[in-house]
Chains A and B, each alone.
Chain A
Amino acid sequence: MTEQPKAGEYDPNAVRKSMSVKAPIEIAWRVFTEKMGTWWPLAHYKIGKANAVDAVLEPRVGGRWYERGEDGSTCDWGRVRVWEPNSRLVLTWDIDANWQFDPKLNTEIEVRFIADGKDATRVELEHRRLDRYGENRDKMRRVFDTEGDWGKLLEMFAKAAAA
């Protein structure tokens, strides 16, 4: 088994995020899985030609993960690999570097829900196997994370400040 990089350490093949949500774990799970269309930034992050109006996760292993357009069309994003209610979710993310569905891409997203008392939930997300993007890996990692843009910002800022 390969050694897992520690949190906060740079991993070229994965992006890790975590946050605390002021909601009981059941609600956090439900909003994430059943009500994705209410919060997913569909205006920015969708792949179909039609305006997307919903993001849907079929609640079972092997279920589809897709967006629904206002014209009723659907575009797949990935599949459900692990479905453990109120605890853990693993999805494939099969959207390639050109924002097109590629069922063979299979990058993986794991979301863990950890109760923090009865009114709060720690949500940890890992988007891994970014090596599946091949030569586009670093570019896509920057899209998913922020680091690249921060680096670029600081660099440009230093230039502007020095001018």
Chain B
Amino acid sequence: MTYEDRVLNALGDRTRRTVFARLRGGARSVNELAEGLKVSRPAVSQHLRVLRAARLVTYRSEGTRRLYAVDRRGIETLRDWLDGFWDQTLAAFRDAAEREAAKERKS
């Protein structure tokens, strides 16, 4: 599967979209993510694996539990893929010009 296929496949499932949307609020454990959903905790873990394979989600271990979060780097890749040449290039220019302006305001 290509990267695009993985992303689209990952988000093509309603439960996975719900899980992914819940991560917008910050890092969550599997139990927190499974709360109120009609699927089992192992099923949520399986969905998280698919989201991870698409680089939409990442996790870190805290003690004995895993906390899942949106994978910012993966989202950047997704944005690069969506945006055209000029969107990316101009966004980079804007960041540089605004940094320069901020620097000159300070000095």
Given known contacts A27-B104, A119-B101, A160-B12, A40 and B94 CB-to-CB distance under 8 angstroms: no
Q: Which one of B5, B12, B96, B100 has the greatest number of beta carbons of chain A within 10 Å?
A: B96
What is the CB-to-nearest-CB distance from A93 to chain B, in angstroms, rounded to a whole number?
Answer: 10
- Whether, in the assembled complex, B95 has its beta carbon less than 8 Å from a beta carbon of chain A, the answer is yes
> Which bucket holds chain B's interface residue count?
20 to 34
Chain B residues with CB below 8 A from A19, complex form: 90-91, 94
**1/0 contact trace for B77-107 toward A, CB 8 Å?**
0001111111111111111111011001000
**1/0 contact trace for A132-163 toward B, CB 8 Å?**
00000000001111110110010011011101
Chain B interface (Cβ within 8 Å of chain A)? 4-5, 8-9, 11-12, 80-98, 100-101, 104
Chain A interface (Cβ within 8 Å of chain B)? 15, 17, 19, 21-24, 27-28, 30-32, 35, 38-41, 44-45, 119, 121, 123, 125, 127, 142-147, 149-150, 153, 156-157, 159-161, 163
Ranked 3 nearest A-B pairs via Cβ: A160-B12, A23-B101, A39-B96
